[in-house]
Every structure is written in structure tokens, then in C-alpha cells.
Amino acid sequence: MASMLVVLIETMGRELKPKELASLALVNHELHRLVTPNLYHTLRFHSSGQITSRDRLLLMLDIMSDSSFDKTKFTRIVMVTGSWYQTYDAIDSDLGPQGVLSPAARMLSALVACCVDKMQYLKEFIWDLQVSITERLVASVIARPHLERLQLRLGTNSTPKPYFHPVLGFDRHINVQSLNLVQIDNHAVLESFADAPLFASKLKELTLWADADSELSVEPLLSRWRDQRQRFPLTALDFRGFSDLGWSPASVWNCICSSTLKDLTFEIGPSFQVSDCNEFWSSAMEAGLRPSRLSTNLLASGLIEFISSFSGLEALSIMTCDPNRPVEPLGPLLNFLQRQHSNTLKVLGICPQEHEDYLLDAQMVSEHILACHKIEELRFGPRQPDIAPILMVLEHLNRLPSLQIVGQMGLAQNQEYVQNVISYALEHGIGNNLIYVAFDDGPVYMINRTMSIVWLKVKNTVGYIEDSVLLHEKLFSWVSRGT
């Protein structure tokens, strides 16, 4: 019986919710012993924003920061999430311009640091709380010898005045493979990060998302890395929200080893000039970049030539930026995509924003999209009021489980009509593998075929769907965990 329980807990432990694990732990001593490692594997310190007599966050911190509490030795993942307490919101907003973090915010980081100090085998740490993390806590986290992944939210957009964000010290060895900084809105904080990759010898994935309103440049990073003559052997690089590179586009490939880079996301603001786009892609081609996944908004010049220079692309996502910014014609781009990558391409996203030239009609779908017969996920905007491209996609791309319809000038706004047309097609045996349908950045629908065709609204919107590429951002993978 005991051996059966061991096997059961080992196979199902991670699938059970914390409440279910806690209930099992109360049954008897044997189950308590078996369940405990899974119960404390993932800890989520979540702030509801309200201080109550039974505040779960405060209770967790009281218990786990106690020196006699030893269950944190089983902890591998820590998440700090939620909203800052409303009581302190105005205080931190007023202190922000003075460059001061409230005592309450500092105490929160100090208590979490006390917990982290006891987590010898911590592998992943995520800070997504609105209030700033302190250098003391960051130092505690990166000192964990088994840490593999670090993700920090470094900006706040929901207060009257931004909270203060202290400069973080990354000038020590960091034992991480994946480093992700989200919503950077402060030049000093960005500058302080420049040394982090220099001390992360095992780093494979680097993600930096800047707050677009802050108009930050990548220049402090590239300048520092160039001075140190470093080339990082990354497998994944994700830069978004920066206003420009602030340096020669070719300098990127002086810092990043193109031969190892397989997953590239590069989205830069409208100040990035046409000549810069062309130099970026030509220098990438010269450096030998051959990504398997590519997502970009650098469409003004050079992308077509880059796409045509190699084969083997598995996922491509392109999106226009500024409607006044020039873009290369979509037809030739799709033509070279079909020629060079049709045997490998599984994911294609074309987000037109306000560029009418990047909407698809039936002819373009027939000539280019359908030729990429292995496509499993597709995002595009049909030309209004043409429903034919959608029906053609459903009929001919038999592997397609995920479809996203976008475009302010397309059919995405006539959602009910499109849903009825798709339902009719599904009822007649077309699109048998279709699981998800999304409209713009709104809700995601799951197709249920138990009795008749039913559209079930998935709780999570675009960006949170785990078994998808176009509908999922890896930085949001923590959302459904530890709840």
C-alpha cells in the first residue's frame, strides 16, 4: 500500500493543487511525509492589495521566515505576485520622485529574503509585484547555488506617480541560464543591468522588455558589452519596447554569438530608421544568423533578403509598428517564405496593426499560405469583408489547432459573424483539428465538440495559452502555477 502511495504521489503530485496537497497531508503521517516535498515545491507569495486580519501573504511570511521552519528546503520555485497594498500605494507614489522606497516595501523584500536564504535548492525566482524589489533580495536570490531562472518586473504603471526603482547590483557571479527583466522604465536600472550577462557564464536565454513610454535605448548595454569584448553564446534573445539601438545595428552581432542563437525576438520603436533596418538584417545575414524562431517589427528594409538567405525557419511572427513607417511588400516576403521554409514552417503570424497592405485576401492565402502545408498556428487579418481566406485556411491546413484573427480593418470586429461561419464549417467536417480561436488581443475561445460546436471562453487571454506559440508568452508561464 505504501509503495502504491509513493508511486501515486510521484506521478500526480505536480498535478494536484496546493489545497488538495494540504488536505492529503492531514490524513496521516505517511501521507504527510510523501506530500510535503510537492506541497512546498512551488511557493507563491501573492498580495491581494488589501490588508485583512487573515491576510495570506502576511501569514506565509510569518511562518516561512521563522528560523525554525525547515520545509523551504523542498522549495524549487518562488513567485511574488499581485498588487501593492492600497494603504501604502499613495505613500510609495509620493516617495517615488524623491528616490525613496517606503519602509513597508523594504520590509516585504527583507522578509522574502529571509525565506529565500533558507532555500538551498531554489531553481526559479519570479518577482511580478507592482512595488520594487530591493537589492538585498536580489543578492539573496542570485546567491542560490542552483538558481537557473530569474525573472523580475522592474516597472510600475498603475500609480499616480511611479514608485522608486532602486538600482540593482548585478556585479557578482549569477548562476542562471535564463534572465528576464520586464517593464524596465528607468535608465539607471537598465544601465546597472549591463554587467549581469558578464557574470552569468551559463546564460542561454536573455529577455529585456522596456516600457515603450520611457523611450530607453539599448546603447548602455551594447556599449558596455563591446568595451568588455564579450560575445554571449545565447540560444534565445528577446528585446522589446526600446526606442532604438543607440549604436550601429551591426554591433549587436559583435556582442551576440549568431551561430548559437535559435530564437530571436526583436521589436524596436518607430525611431529605428529604414537604413538601420537594412543594416540590421544585412549584418545578421553576414554574421550567419539562422534562427528557428523569429519575431520582429523591423519590416522597413532587408527582412526579405534575410528570409531568403537560409532555410529551416519553424516560426515567424511579424508585426507592423507605426502606420507611417514604410514596410516591405508582403507578397514577395511570403513568396520567399514559401520557397525557403515551407518544409519546416509550423507557425506564422502576420499582425497588420494599421497597415492595410498586410491584410490577406483569398489570392494571397491560396498562392502563399496554403503552400506552407505544415502550418499548425496562424495569425492574420483578412481583408474586409472577405471571409474566404478563413474558410480556405480551415479547409486546406489540416494540422491547424490555433487560429488568431486580427486587424482593425479586417473581420476581427465582426466577431459574431465570423464565429457563425467557422461553426458552420466545423459542423461540416472542415477544420477538424481546430482547438483555439482568438480575435485580436481579446479572449481566446476553445472549440468544444462533445455534442455540438460550442465556443468556450478560456479564462486566460492571448499570451497565456500554454500549448501554443502565438497565443503564449513564456514570461507568463507562471500565471497558472502555485494557485
Q: Which three cell numbers stand for residue 437?
A: 480561436
CA distance 256 to 262: 12
Q: pLDDT band at residue 180, thresholds of 50, 70 and 90?
A: very high
- Report the share of the chain in percent with pLDDT over 90: 55
Q: pLDDT band at residue 427, thresholds of 50, 70 and 90?
A: very high
Q: Which of 45-49, 208-212, 291-295 has the highest mean pLDDT?
A: 291-295
CA distance readout (Å), 106 to 102, 183, 380: 6, 20, 46
3-class SS letters over 411-437: CCCCHHHHHHHHHHHHHCCCCCCCCEE
Residue 32: per-residue pLDDT = 62
Residue 157: per-residue pLDDT = 57
Residue 320: per-residue pLDDT = 79
Q: Is the pLDDT of residue 112 over 80?
A: yes
Q: What is the pLDDT of residues 9-27, one digit of tens each?
A: 555 556 666 666 666 665 6
> Could you tell me which residue, 27 or 46, shows the higher pLDDT?
46
CA distance 144 to 112: 14
Report the mean per-residue pLDDT for the chain. 88
Q: What is the pLDDT of residues 211-236, one digit of tens each?
A: 888 889 999 899 889 888 889 999 99
- Helices 135-142 + 103-116 axis angle, to 10: 10
Any domain includes 478: yes
Comparing CA positions, the residue from 162, 177, 161, 105 lying closest to residue 134 is 105
Phi–psi pair at 360, nearest 5 degrees: -105, 140
Residue 442: per-residue pLDDT = 84
Whether the Cβ atoms of residue 387 and residue 423 lie closer than 8 Å to each other? no
Q: What is the pLDDT of residues 297-336, one digit of tens each?
A: 999 999 999 999 999 999 999 987 777 778 899 999 999 9
Q: pLDDT band at residue 89, thresholds of 50, 70 and 90?
A: confident
Any domain includes 371: yes
Q: Which three cell numbers stand for residue 130?
A: 507592482
> Could you tell me which residue, 326 or 446, shows the higher pLDDT?
446
CA distance 268 to 44: 33
Q: Is the pLDDT of residue 279 over 60?
A: yes
Q: pLDDT band at residue 417, thresholds of 50, 70 and 90?
A: confident
Residue 409: per-residue pLDDT = 47
All residues at 6 or more sequence positions from 382 whose CB lies less than 8 Å from its CB, including other chains: 359, 360, 361, 388, 389, 390, 405, 407, 410, 411
Any domain includes 446: yes
Comparing CA positions, the residue from 174, 227, 184, 188 lying closest to residue 209 is 184
- Report the share of the chain in percent with pLDDT over 70: 89
Residue 16: per-residue pLDDT = 64
Torsion of CA 54, 55, 56, 57, to 10 degrees: -160
Residue 160: per-residue pLDDT = 55
Q: Which of 69-73, 213-217, 235-239 has the highest mean pLDDT?
A: 235-239
Any domain includes 176: no
Any domain includes 377: yes
Comparing CA positions, the residue from 261, 308, 258 lying closest to residue 283 is 258
Any domain includes 36: yes
Number of domains in the chain: 2
CA distance 355 to 358: 6
CA distance 197 to 150: 12
pTM of the predicted protein model: 0.91
Q: What is the pLDDT of residues 126-178, one digit of tens each?
A: 999 988 899 899 999 999 999 999 999 988 755 556 788 778 777 678 889 99
> Could you tell me which residue, 379 or 387, shows the higher pLDDT?
379
- Helices 103-116 + 86-95 axis angle, to 10: 110
Any domain includes 387: yes
Q: Tell me which residue range forms the domain holding 408.
A: 329-482
Any domain includes 260: no
